[in-house]
Chains A and B, each alone.
Chain A
């Protein structure tokens, strides 16, 4: 047991150290990309808490990212708040929006919730462009933030927040709250007969998950140094869902794979297509990234429904098991 713990601590320390010096080795643009990946990591983590652990599908998390992003942009430009301080506020506003949306959504299970959240994702850009909100959101033009940060800055801030939120998610999943979430996912009837109040826990899950999305949305706004309605379009919501499924619903470790997929696959779609296609095709045409993403989602659902997290568990379970038995024997 002690050996396994020692190995774990050493591995985490080594990983942390190499992550800390990574941006200085790979250059600013790569650091920016890795920071972007951290943003997806946070959002997918939140979505996974909702969909993977509580069993509520949201196709509209991009809209909650938008709430966070707009909150940051408005606070930073109008109230002169330093932009990094707006990140938690963006998260809180989005969390509040999620709580509010969670109340009518309580009546919706499974499919209906998917429909309603899809509606939120599709309608969000038009709400942000609406004349009544134009004073706040600046309509289609959007808002420019005061400062464009370096990739290294983004990398550091994003991954520090991501690490904290990962620990928080880990604590939630392994707490009374997380057990209640999983019980609701597996059987709402059984859970409520054990004294879990479905309404309260589902709204809580929606709020927490939207908080994550809001933090990610704020960081997204900071990384671009602007927000406009088209930044948070429907495809962003779909990207997050793809990331959650590919990472594996109900697996926290898989989220990294999901985030990496969402960040790095679409821009490299044409070279991926060239590599896998047996025929010569026009791989630079528009639409190719979507085809790759859609095909990946279909294949994962059909062939590996547990996603990367599930595969990882299947590979690592025998290894870790052996490690533990050996250390206990010796």
Chain B
């Protein structure tokens, strides 16, 4: 699978070390990290509300990215098509929660996990069914070219991706912080039993959470598609990176998801460049190692609270 990093960096064999190159690697790592961060944030939003990991989050993102591709392919301007896609993704997320997840709201967590795995397989098939299995190029939001920042050439695409993800994360945290709806969603996440007592409609809050998560996933799909190319299995690796990012930051913490995502992006990029063993696909093994190490040493992640288990 082509990675989000520029290929020239990996093809240059261990050449001389230079600070400029290190800085470039960090910036492009932050850019791919931003993509992992938005998908990781989507996972964390659902986890906080329902204690469930949505294994279908990546496939949902792929499906909606294909929707964006179809919209632009039918002549719609990308600045209209992409926001429209986010709205469609939001509606799809809400509908999915209402129809499929709602009936198992009170079932054990693992039942719901099985359900999301069913959705993973089904949505992957649906995408291949509708759009076929071939790889497509996807328009980038940003123009090509680089800008010089203190002697370091940084591409517009990298700056754009970092900016868009940070913007989206900022908007979401403002929404949670300052709107009544956001307060309601936080209340449901903190205490689903008592929040109905103060008039919060728990079911709709959960559905809203799924909608937001689907929109964030769509965003990550739209951002990553220009570099990895659009195909039905596009998000499979990204989903693993997002898992690693969410676990690194702490599954409980939205801030952790973002920091974890950015950090993971940088780690993978630097490892790919400076560790001869790591390159191309073996980044997946690095992500797996991150998951296993964090879960073994500090399961609550960097930003998670350690919660005692009561008998």
Partners in one complex: yes
**A291 and B129: CB pair below 8 A?**
yes
| CB contact under 8 A between A286 and B103, given known A57-B110, A119-B291, A234-B236 | no
Task: Identify the closest chain A residue to B278 (Cβ).
Answer: A130
Which A residues lie within 8 Å of B159 (CB)? none
Please indicate which of the listed interface residues B104, B125, B127, B247 has the most CB atoms of chain A within 10 Å of its own CB: B125
Are A107 and B299 within 8 A (Cβ)?
A: yes
Chain B interface bracket (under 10, 10 to 19, 20 to 34, 35 or more)? 35 or more
* A301 contact set on B, CB distance < 8 A: 104, 111, 114-115, 118
Residues of A within 8 A of B129 (CB): 282, 285-288, 291
Q: CA A239 – CA B283 in complex, angstroms?
A: 25
A291, B125: Cα distance in complex, Å = 5
Residues of B near A89 (CB, < 8 A) are none
Find out whether the CB atom of A238 lies under 8 angstroms from the CB atom of B117: yes
Question: Using Cβ atoms and an 8 Å threshold, which residues of chain A touch B55?
Answer: 59, 114, 118
Minimum distance in angstroms from A142 CB to a CB of chain B: 15
A189 to B, closest residue via Cβ? B311
User: 1/0 contact trace for A17-60 toward B, CB 8 Å?
Assistant: 00000000000000000000000000000000000000101010
CA distance A119 to B107 in the complex (A): 25
Residues of A within 8 A of B236 (CB): 122, 234
Within 8 A of A (CB), among B119-137: 119-130, 132-133
* Complex interface residues of chain A between 101 and 123 (CB less than 8 A to chain B): 104, 107-108, 110-112, 114-116, 118-120, 122-123
The minimal Cβ–Cβ distance linking B13 to chain A, given in whole angstroms, is 13
**Measured CA separation A30–B280 after assembly (Å):** 41
Which residue of B277, B280, B288, B299 has the most chain A CB atoms within 10 A of its CB atom? B288
Residue among A115, A288, A305 with most chain B CB within 10 A: A115
Closest chain-A Cβ to B247's Cβ sits at a distance in Å of 7
Q: Are B292 and A104 in contact (CB under 8 A)?
A: yes
In the complex, are the beta carbons of A242 and B121 less than 8 A apart? yes
Q: Which of chain A's residues have a CB closer than 8 A to the CB of B288?
A: 116, 119-120, 122-123
Tell me the dominant secondary structure on chain B's binding face: helix
Q: Which residue of A lies closest to B290 (CB)?
A: A119
Chain A residues positioned under 8 Å from B282 (CB to CB): 126-127, 130
Chain A contacts for B133, CB-based, 8 A: 286-287
Q: Is the CB of A169 closer than 8 A to any CB of chain B?
A: no
Does A219 make an interface contact (CB < 8 A)? no
B5 to chain A, nearest CB (A): 15
Does A297 contact B132, Cβ atoms closer than 8 Å?
A: no
- Asked, given contacts A107-B296, A285-B128, A301-B115, whether A115 binds B247 with beta carbons under 8 Å apart, the answer is yes
Q: What CA separation (Å) do A212 and B232 show in the bound complex?
A: 32
Nearest chain A CB to B128's CB is how many angstroms away?
A: 3
Residues of A within 8 A of B281 (CB): 125-126, 129
Interface residue? A245 (CB, 8 A): yes
Chain B contacts for A285, CB-based, 8 A: 128-129, 132
User: With A57-B110, A130-B282 as given contacts, are A291 and B117 in contact (CB-CB < 8 Å)?
Assistant: no
Q: Does A294 contact B (CB under 8 A)?
A: yes
A118 CA to B247 CA, complexed, in Å: 13
From 6 to 61 in chain B, residues with beta carbon under 8 angstroms from any chain A beta carbon are 51-53, 55
**Assembled-state Cα–Cα distance A70/B191 (Å):** 49
Residue contact B126 to A297, C-beta cutoff 8 Å: no
Alpha-carbon distance between A192 and B208 when the two chains are bound, in angstroms = 40
Q: Are B287 and A119 in contact (CB under 8 A)?
A: yes
Q: List residues of A (251-307) whose CB comes within 8 Å of B's CBs.
A: 282, 285-298, 301-302, 305
B71 is an interface residue with CB less than 8 A from chain A: no
CA distance A297 to B299 in the complex (A): 30
Whether, in the assembled complex, A132 has its beta carbon less than 8 Å from a beta carbon of chain B, the answer is: yes
Interface residues of A, CB < 8 Å — how many? 49
Given A108-B299, A122-B240: A288 and B122 interface contact (C-beta under 8 Å): no
B78-101 at interface with A (beta carbon < 8 Å): 100
A107 pairs with B295, CB closer than 8 A? yes
Across the two chains, which residue of chain A brings its CB closest to B112?
Answer: A301
Q: Is there a chain B Cβ closer than 8 Å to A65's Cβ? A: no
The contact string, 1 if C-beta is below 8 Å from chain A, for chain B 153-187, is: 00000000000000000000000000000000000
Q: Are B110 and A123 in contact (CB under 8 A)?
A: no
With an 8 A cutoff between CB atoms, is A216 at the interface? no
Say yes or no for A241: interface residue by CB 8 A criterion: yes
Of A111, A112, A119, chain B has the most CB atoms within 10 Å of the CB of A119
Q: List 25 A-B contacts (CB under 8 A).
A: A55-B110, A57-B110, A59-B117, A104-B292, A107-B295, A108-B299, A110-B109, A111-B52, A111-B110, A115-B247, A115-B291, A119-B288, A122-B237, A123-B287, A123-B288, A127-B285, A285-B128, A288-B129, A292-B125, A294-B121, A298-B119, A301-B104, A301-B114, A301-B118, A302-B100
B residues in contact (CB < 8 Å) with A: 51-53, 55, 100, 103-104, 107, 109-111, 113-115, 117-130, 132-133, 232, 236-237, 239-240, 243-244, 247, 277, 280-285, 287-288, 291-292, 295-296, 299, 311
Given A286-B132, A287-B126, A298-B119: 14 more A-B contacts, CB < 8 Å? A111-B113, A118-B240, A130-B277, A131-B277, A189-B311, A235-B121, A238-B117, A289-B125, A290-B121, A291-B125, A291-B129, A292-B125, A295-B118, A302-B103
- The 5 tightest CB contacts between A and B, nearest first, are A294-B122, A290-B125, A287-B128, A297-B118, A287-B129
